[in-house]
């Protein structure tokens, strides 16, 4: 019995041992499986990390590639805005020279460990500059001439004028003066030029000069009966319709982003002397709180100047700067800026006799439908301008331009009192070249502004810009255009665009902005003449159609009208201007929009150029105005009423 019990016990113990072994084995297997799973998870995580690392590495490589492809473009010019060819900068073992259009192009990869660059050119002081942040792709560097340090090279430093200008001038100055020999090169492709100082003699253009065509040349479809008084146009004076301009700005945001110009923060300065006469050519400037100059201008024939805050740049800069807040930041000639500011100066009464008029016109192939007619109109304006202004000393000049890859980029006939010289120069041009839509507008303005020989004491300086296309849209070209706009304003040169067939809405915004920034106005050719292709209808309420030549003559008269220093003579001047003063709004708009003030007793005060000076209910104050002719316009009983007043 004991033996049987012992056998059973052994069997049970053995079975328990087997169960225990099986249990331990199962547990061990489970643990092993868990470890294996964990190991697999770690392997997956490791693979994911490796993939992420590879992605980061790929992104880093892409960034490195992008960074290596990035460039910094430096536009090198002198104090007259002439673009310098052959300026050098050393980057490590590399020496990079500015090309024929004044541009130094540096790869960002070259500048990784570089903090400072030195821009050098024979005949100029070396200009040090800090390497800008990687976000900056374009900047302008101005070199200061240093002929004393390079006396042996004086006058023989060659550099591009007007960024690929066509007319090639070479100046050699002798023994420290600038009266040296001026040579005109017919080899337009050489394009080595020095800006011509105002004291330089004019260079005559001969019949055999390369590229000139006689006036008998005609384009396809041109009428044989070409004469002045055929083209029709309308004026858009945004100073006369300022509220409409501000409304138009709100719908033109996309164009502001393209051209990076926004004439909106406006400050009007009125300068008069102790006796109440307007003071022309008086310099005014807008500065920030630190004294940095933001905008410069000189007063016009009415003693007024237009200054602009935040003119150049992206839309929305300092958007919080509204209403009176700008007075704490901006200053005009040292005093807190106001939207309308009167400055009384101790200056004698002076009505200069000079009037300078330049015609800057596009001669690319797309102008072929209208160029011959435009030439006839411009020549007629020149012939009539002296008599129309009452015998003032009129000087005229012209710049004709095409584009970068054409036979030439610019040709210049400098300002002269021999009006037939300008007429002949204009008559010799013909339409050709171009090829694409944009043209060399900044280069044309550089020629007009820097080489024409403007009279700083003239009572009016006007540049009619006749074109059918804006400039190229790359950042360097737009920056160059901005320089010309600021330069024109600083010299008191009023740009008046004359828009021909083919211009788009983006170009309209740019040209109207240029006119505002330089205290000018804008003309738009219309289809009423039946000449040329379809013309753009500008974004405005109404357009009064006139003959283009009459409009141009009228504008010359308006921009040059000044009271004489004899008050009794004021009342007899310019009575014929009254019919042309534009209305701030059209009748339909006034009647349909109750927010626009109008009715008997509501008066709009404008000056001789049509610039709106204020809206008043009841009596119109005139004590703040300088001596001169003004107009009070009122809308009631369904029509505009105009009253001419004299402030004496």
Task: Provide the phi-psi class of 173: left if phi over 0, else alpha when psi is between -120 and 50, else beta.
Answer: beta
Q: What is the pLDDT of residue 44?
A: 63
Q: 399 φ, ψ to 5°?
A: -130, 130
Q: 461: exposed, middle or buried (C-beta count within 10 Å: 0-12, 13-18, 19+)?
A: buried
Residue 591 is classified by DSSP as H
What is the C-alpha separation between 640 and 512, in angstroms, rounded? 26
What is the C-alpha separation between 480 and 483, in angstroms, rounded? 5
In this structure, are residues 602 and 617 in contact, taking their beta carbons and an 8 Å threshold? yes
> How do residues 538-563 score in pLDDT, each as one tens digit?
999 889 999 999 999 999 999 999 98
Q: What is the pLDDT of residue 198?
A: 27
> How do residues 324-365 score in pLDDT, each as one tens digit?
444 457 999 988 889 999 999 999 888 899 999 999 999 998
Residue 582 is classified by DSSP as P
- pLDDT surpasses 60 at 227: yes
What is the C-alpha separation between 492 and 486, in angstroms, rounded? 10
Q: 57: exposed, middle or buried (C-beta count within 10 Å: 0-12, 13-18, 19+)?
A: exposed
Q: 621 φ, ψ to 5°?
A: -70, 140
| DSSP assignment of 42-60 | HHHHHHHHHHHHHHHHHHH
> How do residues 586-611 score in pLDDT, each as one tens digit?
877 777 777 788 888 899 999 988 89
Query: pLDDT category, 406, cuts 50, 70, 90?
Result: confident
How confident is the model over 386-408, as a mean pLDDT? 91
How confident is the model over 155-184, as a mean pLDDT? 28
Q: What is the pLDDT of residue 77?
A: 80
Task: Provide the phi-psi class of 433: left if phi over 0, else alpha when psi is between -120 and 50, else beta.
Answer: left
Query: pLDDT category, 180, cuts 50, 70, 90?
Result: very low
- pLDDT surpasses 80 at 176: no
Which secondary structure element, helix H or strand E, spans residue 487, and what is its range? helix 475-491
* pTM exceeds 0.85 for this model: no
Q: What is the pLDDT of residue 203?
A: 32
Q: What is the pLDDT of residue 396?
A: 96
| DSSP assignment of 187-214 | -TTT--B-PPPTTSPPPPPPTTSTT---
Q: 293: exposed, middle or buried (C-beta count within 10 Å: 0-12, 13-18, 19+)?
A: exposed
Q: What is the pLDDT of residue 507?
A: 95
Q: What is the pLDDT of residue 558?
A: 94
The neighbouring-strand residues paired with 53 are none
Structure tokens at 408: 């030439």
Q: What is the pLDDT of residue 218?
A: 34
> How do residues 438-497 score in pLDDT, each as one tens digit?
888 999 999 999 989 999 999 999 999 999 999 988 888 899 999 999 999 999 999 999
Beta strands (DSSP E) in 439-592 are 460-467, 494-499, 522-525, 545-547
Torsion from C-alpha of 237, 238, 240, 241, nearest 10 degrees:
130
Structure tokens at 136: 């900056």
- pLDDT surpasses 60 at 575: no
In this structure, are residues 267 and 284 in contact, taking their beta carbons and an 8 Å threshold? no
- Degrees to nearest 5, angle at CA 360 with 359 and 364: 130
Q: Which of 643, 632, 559, 561 is nearest to 602 (CA)?
A: 632
Q: Which of 488, 514, 580 is nearest to 233 (CA)?
A: 580
Q: Which of 135-139, 195-199, 486-490 has the lowest mean pLDDT?
A: 195-199
CA 336 vs. chain centroid, Å, equals: 27
Q: What is the pLDDT of residue 404?
A: 80
Task: Provide the phi-psi class of 463: left if phi over 0, else alpha when psi is between -120 and 50, else beta.
Answer: beta
Q: CB-based contacts of 158: which residues, under 8 Å, 6+ apart?
A: 85, 86, 170, 192, 193, 194
How confident is the model over 24-53, as a mean pLDDT? 63
Query: pLDDT category, 437, cuts 50, 70, 90?
Result: confident
Query: pLDDT category, 408, cuts 50, 70, 90?
Result: confident
In this structure, are residues 302 and 626 in contact, taking their beta carbons and an 8 Å threshold? yes
Query: pLDDT category, 45, cuts 50, 70, 90?
Result: low
What is the C-alpha separation between 97 and 271, in angstroms, rounded? 47
Q: What is the pLDDT of residue 133?
A: 84
Highest mean pLDDT among 88-92, 126-130, 137-141, 278-282: 278-282
- pLDDT surpasses 90 at 434: no
Query: pLDDT category, 178, cuts 50, 70, 90?
Result: very low
What is the C-alpha separation between 368 and 212, in angstroms, rounded? 15
Q: What is the pLDDT of residue 149?
A: 46
> How do residues 73-122 score in pLDDT, each as one tens digit?
888 887 666 678 788 999 888 899 887 667 888 988 898 888 899 999 88
Q: 328: exposed, middle or buried (C-beta count within 10 Å: 0-12, 13-18, 19+)?
A: exposed
Query: pLDDT category, 568, cuts 50, 70, 90?
Result: low
How confident is the model over 238-265, as a mean pLDDT? 93
What is the pLDDT of the chain when averaged over all its residues? 78
Helix-strand-coil split of the chain, %, nearest 5:
30, 25, 40
CA 567 vs. chain centroid, Å, equals: 39
- pLDDT surpasses 80 at 190: no
Q: CB-based contacts of 418: which residues, under 8 Å, 6+ apart?
A: none
Q: What is the pLDDT of residue 3?
A: 53
Helices (H), 291-440: 371-388, 419-427
> How do residues 259-274 score in pLDDT, each as one tens digit?
999 999 999 999 999 9
Query: pLDDT category, 173, cuts 50, 70, 90?
Result: very low
- pLDDT surpasses 70 at 578: no
In this structure, are residues 378 and 402 in contact, taking their beta carbons and an 8 Å threshold? no
What is the C-alpha separation between 553 and 357, in angstroms, rounded? 11
């Amino acid at each position: 019995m004991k033996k049987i019990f012992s056998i059973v016990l052994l069997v049970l113990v053995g079975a328990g041992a087997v169960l225990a072994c099986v249990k331990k084995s199962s547990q061990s297997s489970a643990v092993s499986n868990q470890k294996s799973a964990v190991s697999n998870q770690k392997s997956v995580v490791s693979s994911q990390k490796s993939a992420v690392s590879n992605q980061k590495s790929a992104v880093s490589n892409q960034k490195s590639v992008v960074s290596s492809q990035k460039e910094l473009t430096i536009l090198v010019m002198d104090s007259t805005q002439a673009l310098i060819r052959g300026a050098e900068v050393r980057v490590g073992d590399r020496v990079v020279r500015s090309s024929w259009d004044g541009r130094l192009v540096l790869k960002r990869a070259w500048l990784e460990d570089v903090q400072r660059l030195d821009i050098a050119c024979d005949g100029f002081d070396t200009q040090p500059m800090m390497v800008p942040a990687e976000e900056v792709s374009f900047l302008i560097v101005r070199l200061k001439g240093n002929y004393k340090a390079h006396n042996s090279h004086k006058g023989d430093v060659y550099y591009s004028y007007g960024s690929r200008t066509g007319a090639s001038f070479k100046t050699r100055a002798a023994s420290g003066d600038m009266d040296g020999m001026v040579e005109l090169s017919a080899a337009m492709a050489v394009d080595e030029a020095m800006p011509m100082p105002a004291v330089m003699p004019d260079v005559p253009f001969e019949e055999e000069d390369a590229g000139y065509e006689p006036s008998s040349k005609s384009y396809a479809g041109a009428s044989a009966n070409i004469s002045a008084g055929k083209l029709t146009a309308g004026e858009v004076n945004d100073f006369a319709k300022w509220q409409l301009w501000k409304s138009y700005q709100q719908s033109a945001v996309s164009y502001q982003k393209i051209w990076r110009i926004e004439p909106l923060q406006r400050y009007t300065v009125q300068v008069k002397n102790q006796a109440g006469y307007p003071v022309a050519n008086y310099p005014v400037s807008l500065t920030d709180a630190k004294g940095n100059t933001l905008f410069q201008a000189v007063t016009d024939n009415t003693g007024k100047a237009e200054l602009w805050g935040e003119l150049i740049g992206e839309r929305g800069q300092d958007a919080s700067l509204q209403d009176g807040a700008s007075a704490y930041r901006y200053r005009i000639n040292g005093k807190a800026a106001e939207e309308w500011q009167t400055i009384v100066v101790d200056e004698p009464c002076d009505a200069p006799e000079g009037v300078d008029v330049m015609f800057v016109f596009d001669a690319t192939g797309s102008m072929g439908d209208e160029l011959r007619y435009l030439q006839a109109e411009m020549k007629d304006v020149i012939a009539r301008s002296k008599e129309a202004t009452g015998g003032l000393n009129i000087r005229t000049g012209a710049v004709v331009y095409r584009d970068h890859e054409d036979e030439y980029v610019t040709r210049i006939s400098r300002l002269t009192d021999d009006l037939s010289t300008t007429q002949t120069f204009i008559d010799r041009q013909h339409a050709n070249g171009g090829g694409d839509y944009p043209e060399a507008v900044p280069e044309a303005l550089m020629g007009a502004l820097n080489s024409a020989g403007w009279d700083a004491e003239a009572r009016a300086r006007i540049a009619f810009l006749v074109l059918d296309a804006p400039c190229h849209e790359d950042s360097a070209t737009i920056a160059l255009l901005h320089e010309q706009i600021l330069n024109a304003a600083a010299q008191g040169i009023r740009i008046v665009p004359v828009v021909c067939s083919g211009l788009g809405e983006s170009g309209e915004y740019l040209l109207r902005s240029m006119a505002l920034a330089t205290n000018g106005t804008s003309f738009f050719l219309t289809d009423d003449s039946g000449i040329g292709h379809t013309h753009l209808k500008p974004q405005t309420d109404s357009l009064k159609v006139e003959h283009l030549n009459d409009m141009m003559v009228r504008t010359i008269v308006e921009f040059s009208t000044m009271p004489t220093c004899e008050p009794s003579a004021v009342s007899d001047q310019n009575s014929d201007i009254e019919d042309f003063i534009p209305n701030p709004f059209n009748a339909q708009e006034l009647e349909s929009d109750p927010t626009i003030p109008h009715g008997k007793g509501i008066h709009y005060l404008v000056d001789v150029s049509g610039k709106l000076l204020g809206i008043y209910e009841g009596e119109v104050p005139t004590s703040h105005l300088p001596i001169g002719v003004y107009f009070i316009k009122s809308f009631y009983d369904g029509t505009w009423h105009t009253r001419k007043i004299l402030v004496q």
